[in-house]
């Protein structure tokens, strides 16, 4: 039995501890917002937070989450109110949308750590997330916009 919390809800699962967290989230917990893209931590589509850190869940065994707090895209906000979600909507970022959960989860850690990230900060934090549609310029703009929102709202 592995116990951890997902989006503030307790999960108690009888699952092979070597199973990647991604597939536990998707197949066992039914949270399909987190995506599979490569399975080898190359694309970032599967990015979630474990205790606030961005993790590529496709290569993280579920055992790594034991006793910890996992946040997925579904837990980023209950109502699209996260500054990044609002900025993504404002800038019309997504095209196909498949990579965007991972993009947002990576960006959320960046924004928490750097309230006013520079372009270099964005490069460093976001380089692990591939977007085949090529939404990078808009992702960059949206992160800057959200940083503005953060400052205005005084949010963390």
Partner 1 sequence: MSRAIHRREFLKVSIGAGGGLFLGFRLAGTGETLAMQNGSAASFTPNAFVRIGTDERVTVIVNHSEMGQGVYTSLPMLLAEELDADWNNVAFESAPVDPKYNHPVFGMQMTGGSSSVWSGFEQFRQAGAAARAMLIAAAAQQWNVDPSKCRTDSGAVFDPSNRKLTYGQLAAAAAKLTPPAQVPLKDPTTFKLIGKPAKRLDTSEKVNGTAVFGVDVKMPGMMTAVVARAPIFGAKVRAFDDSRARSMSGVHRIVAVPSGVAVIADSFWQAKMARDALHIDWDEGTMSSFNTNQMMQQFREQAKLTGKSVRRDGDADATLAKAAKKLEAVYEVPYLSHAMMEPLNCAVDLRPESCEIWTGTQFQTVDRANAAKTAGLPDEKVQIHTTFLGGGFGRRANPQSDFVVEAVHVAKAAGVPVKVVWTREDDMQGGWYRPAFLHAIAGAIDTNGKAVAWRSRIVGQSIMAGTPFEGMADLKGKGYDPSSVEGADDLPYEIPNLAVESHQMEVRVPVQWWRSVGHSHTAFATECFIDELAAIAHQDPYRFRRDLLQKHPRHLGVLDLAAQKAGWAKPLPKGRARGIAVHASFESFSAQVAEVSVNDGKVQVHRMVCAIDCGRYVNPGIIAAQTEGGAIFGASAALFQELTFENGRLRQSNFHSFPMLRMNECPEIETHIIESREKSGGIGEPGVPCAAPAIANAVFAATGKRIRRLPIRLSEAV
- Interface with partner 1 (CB under 8 A): 16, 19-20, 23, 26-28, 30-40, 42-43, 45, 72-74, 76-77, 80, 84-85, 88-89, 92-101, 104, 122-124, 126-140
Task: Considering the complex, state which of residue 4 and residue 117 has its C-beta at the smaller distance from partner 1.
Answer: 117
Task: Considering the complex, state which of residue 37 and residue 55 has its C-beta at the smaller distance from partner 1.
Answer: 37
Task: Considering the complex, state which of residue 50 and residue 130 has its C-beta at the smaller distance from partner 1.
Answer: 130
Residue 110's nearest CA partner among 132, 138, 139 is: 139
Q: Shortest distance, CB of residue 36 to partner 1, whole angstroms? A: 7
Q: Shortest distance, CB of residue 47 to partner 1, whole angstroms? A: 12
DSSP class per residue in 120-140: HHHHHHHTT---TT--HHHHH
Phi-psi category of residue 80: left, alpha or beta, with phi > 0 → left and psi -120 to 50 → alpha: left
**Helix ranges, the chain (H):** 21-23, 83-90, 100-113, 119-126, 136-153
Q: Shortest distance, CB of residue 3 to partner 1, whole angstroms? A: 19
Task: Considering the complex, state which of residue 3 and residue 16 has its C-beta at the smaller distance from partner 1.
Answer: 16
Q: Shortest distance, CB of residue 135 to partner 1, whole angstroms? A: 7
Q: Shortest distance, CB of residue 68 to partner 1, whole angstroms? A: 20
Task: Considering the complex, state which of residue 95 and residue 149 has its C-beta at the smaller distance from partner 1.
Answer: 95
Kind of pairing between the strands at 9-13 and 2-6: antiparallel
In a 10 Å sphere around its CB, with 0-12 CB exposed, 13-18 middle and 19+ buried, how is residue 14 labelled? exposed
Tell me, what DSSP letter sits at residue 67?
A: T
């Amino acid at each position: 039995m592995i116990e951890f919390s997902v989006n503030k809800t307790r999960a108690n699962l009888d699952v092979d501890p070597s199973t990647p967290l991604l597939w536990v989230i998707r197949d066992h917990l039914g949270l399909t917002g987190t995506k599979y893209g490569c399975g080898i931590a190359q694309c970032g589509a599967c990015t979630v937070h474990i205790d606030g850190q961005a993790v590529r869940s496709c290569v993280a065994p579920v055992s790594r989450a034991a006793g910890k707090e996992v946040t997925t895209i579904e837990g980023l906000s209950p109502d699209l109110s996260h500054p990044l979600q609002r900025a993504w909507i404002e800038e019309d970022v997504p095209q196909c949308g498949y990579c965007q959960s991972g993009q947002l989860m990576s960006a959320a850690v960046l924004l928490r750590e750097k309230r006013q990230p520079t372009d270099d900060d964005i490069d460093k934090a976001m380089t692990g997330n591939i977007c085949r549609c090529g939404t990078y310029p808009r992702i960059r703009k949206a992160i800057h916009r959200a940083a503005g929102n953060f400052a205005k709202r005084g949010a963390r």
